[in-house]
Structure 1
């Protein structure tokens, strides 16, 4: 009847409700999660704890076969309060959904390591606080750099496997090197071609175009001090948004690089995001986009190298050593317990789990 209008929402099917914060921390809820969380889910919790925030597309690149499978599983994890999510404001269009570690997920992660949640240094309000952090776009950009490498490795031909074997966050790099320099990330890329294995390590400086080019160049001084103190020459990769900014950055970098006591201890290469083919199925920084920095010729046109071939641009560069993730001295005692860095490669799903979580 016109006098008793039916509201649209009353015609919808019942939707599963989201757990309240108190229910999410209950023993009953933890018991429920024990029967529902897969090894891949728990791996994702460790990844979110390490890298703070990941978008739906990044999570799909890292661990799921399709966008539908990723969205379906993330919705379930959200309803269980294993993850939390937010969608930043965007002037045009819609921003992707961003995910952080949720209260129930933090409890699971802590329990796996025999800890209390407070020992992780986790607080839900702080985890969600990145939604309003001015470095959100930068953090998401750094994570996009690494997850695109994981996606490429997952689709590599069987005869020429590739893998991202290490991925450290900015906060982990700060704990190790923060008295000298704070990289945006640290990574290792392993490849096998013609029966020979190769591995590349690097520090990442991810530029979004907001810093002055002079400040970008001055960062080389900190990396030179780090190389002097450790005796290890680790390549520095500078990722820039456009080829035009890359040209300006190379001039600023070359000015500082030529003035270092030993420029060979700080190998530098630059690349720009607009050098990638947007029409390619899975563009990634592993492609032939890296241009090594030569102090005498900052503006030389090439050749550019792939990530796997980049060490060949610096003759005499020592192969990467196994990174030491041990916390040192007073810093370890004064800070919350630090979990080891999660493996960048998700665990393989068992056959009985595939049908449930990837359908």
Structure 2
């Protein structure tokens, strides 16, 4: 669950699995629109779990497991299952070579232009960043699948953010969320409680420079595991924020995962757990879509549709980020 993120120390070496080969030509009639969307999502976000994909794209976990197993047989996806110190981890899915070939062919580019390498795709299984990457993807999955009128219009990976803005900032993700006529563009900083607080505060200087150089004011959302961590973090952030040349150019809000009600069927980052850094006195927590009202000087978002205003590809051959939601006519079982 989003309010009980997995810790890296709970993971051990993965159990790799292999699938029989299949020819690329045969995939033309075997892959549905939803399958192709899954491949693009795995290319963008590196690794997604069975439960995340089930929530995002399938009517049930059973259906998701069945279809993903079939995609594994087609060799368009690879999977591994980390060993946990407690319990059993869900399947973790990454893009396989045949899947990369499908993604590249649909975009009319070569596989090398995707920057895809199988050993790199599978390296996430052994990475010390696995829990963090899965946690960020769980955060957006919870936001995208929360019941209600809210909708995620954009979800860009840490890798894409690094290519676009890495000379100044390296957020864990970029997103756009809309609800009840309010649209919020934001950078996400996702903390599992292991990041040095002084380095988090130091990041604000980079965000200030990005706002100055682009003329675009984009809020920074910081998600931490506990309210105790949040209290300490806010003190460090305030010290750094107040020293910025123009603090208003870097709107900041914080939230703690433990504030989510785990008795609810769908706890979500959209809930009333956010506290703007510029809040004074005893301020009440607000929902995600109410944050723009706290910062009237924000750069207006473009019209709320799937394509408007999303981060532009860095190179002509770079794919745009996939839609956070699968095609409505996904088809398949």
2:291 is aligned, of 304, 310, 316, to: 310
Hey, what's the Cα distance between the residues in 2 that align with 1:184 and 1:73? 29
Hey, what's the Cα distance between the residues in 2 that align with 1:217 and 1:185? 17
Hey, what's the Cα distance between the residues in 1 that align with 2:282 and 2:114? 48
Query: What is aligned with 1:133?
Result: 127
Q: Is the 8 A contact 1:181 1:222 kept in 2?
A: yes
Query: What is aligned with 2:319?
Result: 339
- The secondary structure found in structure 2 opposite 1:209 is coil
By how many angstroms is 1:327 displaced?
4.2
- The secondary structure found in structure 1 opposite 2:265 is coil
By how many angstroms is 1:292 displaced?
0.4
2:89 is aligned, of 78, 86, 95, to: 95
By how many angstroms is 1:165 displaced?
0.3
Root-mean-square deviation (Å):
1.7
Hey, what's the Cα distance between the residues in 2 that align with 1:150 and 1:104? 28
- The secondary structure found in structure 2 opposite 1:219 is helix
TM-score by length of 1: 0.83
Query: What is aligned with 1:164?
Result: 152
Query: What is aligned with 2:309?
Result: 323
TM-score by length of 2: 0.89
By how many angstroms is 1:167 displaced?
0.6
Is 1:226 the equivalent of 2:228? no
Q: Is the 8 A contact 1:63 1:346 kept in 2?
A: yes
Hey, what's the Cα distance between the residues in 2 that align with 1:18 and 1:85? 9
2:219 is aligned, of 235, 246, 254, to: 235
Hey, what's the Cα distance between the residues in 1 that align with 2:310 and 2:143? 23
By how many angstroms is 1:284 displaced?
0.9
- The secondary structure found in structure 2 opposite 1:88 is strand
Q: Can you give the 5+ residue segments of structure 1 that lack an aligned partner in the other structure?
A: 1-16
1:301-330 deviation digits (Å, cap 9, x = unpaired): 4211111111111233232244354345xx
Query: What is aligned with 1:107?
Result: 101
4+ residue segments displaced more than 4 Å: none
Query: What is aligned with 2:257?
Result: 273
Q: Is the 8 A contact 2:182 2:292 kept in 1?
A: no
**Alignment CA distance shift 1:200-1:280 (3 Å):** same
By how many angstroms is 1:107 displaced?
1.2
- The secondary structure found in structure 1 opposite 2:312 is coil
**Is the helix fraction higher in 1 or 2?**
1
Superposition pairs of residues 343-358 of structure 1, within 5 angstroms: 343-349=323-329, 353=331, 356-357=332-333
Hey, what's the Cα distance between the residues in 2 that align with 1:167 and 1:325? 10
- The secondary structure found in structure 2 opposite 1:60 is helix
Hey, what's the Cα distance between the residues in 1 that align with 2:231 and 2:32? 46
By how many angstroms is 1:119 displaced?
2.3
Q: Is the 8 A contact 2:154 2:310 kept in 1?
A: no
1:43 is aligned, of 37, 41, 51, to: 37
Q: Is the 8 A contact 1:61 1:150 kept in 2?
A: no
Hey, what's the Cα distance between the residues in 2 that align with 1:116 and 1:317? 39
Q: Can you give the 5+ residue segments of structure 2 that lack an aligned partner in the other structure?
A: 1-17, 303-307
Higher RCO (C-alpha 8 Å, min separation 6): 2
Hey, what's the Cα distance between the residues in 1 that align with 2:298 and 2:312? 25
- The secondary structure found in structure 1 opposite 2:24 is helix
Q: Is the 8 A contact 1:188 1:200 kept in 2?
A: yes
Q: Which has the larger radius of gyration?
A: 1
1:121 is aligned, of 115, 119, 126, to: 115
By how many angstroms is 1:114 displaced?
1.8
Hey, what's the Cα distance between the residues in 1 that align with 2:74 and 2:138? 26
**Alignment CA distance shift 1:345-1:327 (3 Å):** closer
Query: What is aligned with 2:173?
Result: 185
Hey, what's the Cα distance between the residues in 2 that align with 1:118 and 1:257? 41
